[in-house]
Amino acid sequence: MDEDRVPASGTVHWIGAGLSTGSGLAALCDTAGHVTLWHRTEDRAAAALDRLGLAGRAEPRAYTLPALTAALTPGDVVVSMLPAPQHAPLLTACVRRRAHFACSSYVSDAVLEQVPTAERAGLVVLTEAGLDPGIDHLFAHDLVARAREAIGDGTPASYSLTSYCGGVPAVPNDFTYRFSWAPLGVLNALRTPARYVEDGAETVAERPWEATRRHIVDGETFEVYPNRDSVPFVAQYGLPSVWTPRTFVRGTLRLEGWLRAWQGVFEELRTGDDARIAVLARKLADTYPTTGQDRDRAVLAVSLDVRVGTGQTWAGGYLLDLVGDARESAMARCVSRTLGLGVRHVLDGSLPAGLSRAAETADRSRRWLGELARDGIEFTLRADE
């Protein structure tokens, strides 16, 4: 354990019980000393615990930031399932009360600004510990480590790394989609330019969907497009400096036919302002509701291909392809179990103070993958020996 780290108290505060809260919370109820589920009202928190089969195993509370702050003690762990803009105020409260922080979302600039203070205070800031981001990082770290072992860090090479993830309906519908998170978040992600490497050069897609292409995974054709800014992950994944990227893209995966089915949505995204997009999001939520009878499918495919001038090559890939069931969606299973695993490592003291984006290193990623497999997250690896 890091001697400068605030020892975990054993108490976990899980905030929010939306679509991605699932069996990972149940796993924490088995390992943490005390778990509190904070939701909009105490009754809603209690109803969520009952739905998850956790009534009596966690304490329901009505969430407000002042109420949570007052409840925090040194070494507690705050787990945020709230929208990303609410993470920075939560982290501020954690630093003030000497509590650790965890979430499954991308780390924001507002959170990054507070990381040095949190690290000096001996606090863990765990982010990007879900499916995407999260398990995709674990896959990438492990593939890069395997390739480095095979090729060697000092050998010049070129490589292609692609990481595509999507939540889609298990039974295709006319819309080719099933909302696994807030529709407004889905639309705003499409409005955000994407930066990636293609044909050896950095490329920006101002409208990511316009860069959609066919992508075959395990014999099945999907449609994929770049998402956010892929370029910083070249350094994060530890790719050797003498290796040159031919392709490096982290993106979103959709069912075949998605581009055609969403043409009306794209027209509104091209011309609509924030107010109109918010109206469209509400309309889509009403038109394509997520019901208890729906089953989702989570697909994550990460591949790495390395080529040396001598003709030597190395290739490997991970594939996760899960379908939800009556107990929980595939998305909730992947996100909450990965986040729950990360929180367990905050509790046991094995994560250092400061920022961790999921497992962060190749060795830790490999351990987490083994633990996730034992937790029931199934995936396959193919790699050159």
Residue 363 has, within 13 A of its CA and on its CB side, a CA count of 2
Least Cα distance to 378 among 337, 328, 326, 342 occurs for 337
**Residue 163: enclosing H or E segment and its boundaries?**
strand 157-169
Q: Which two tokens stand for residue 252?
A: 């979103």
Determine if the peptide bond prior to 133 is cis (ω within 30°).
yes
Secondary structure of 20-51 in HEC code, one letter for each residue: CCCHHHHHHHHHCCEEEEEECCHHHHHHHHHH
Three-class secondary structure of residue 13 per DSSP: strand
Using CA atoms, how far apart are residues 73 and 259, in angstroms rounded to an integer? 49
Q: Which two tokens stand for residue 48?
A: 């969520």
Residues 216, 132, 85, 228, Cα dihedral to 10°: -40
Least Cα distance to 146 among 134, 161, 132 occurs for 161
Query: Is 132 part of the annotated catalytic residue set?
Result: yes
Label residues 170-179 b or e (16+ Cβ within 10 Å = b). Answer: bebeebbbbb
Least Cα distance to 181 among 24, 334, 355 occurs for 334
Contact 138, 163 (CB under 8 A): no
Least Cα distance to 15 among 49, 39, 41 occurs for 39
DSSP state of 235: H
Active-site residue, selected from the candidate residues 132, 136, 142, 296: 132
Residues taking part in catalysis: 132
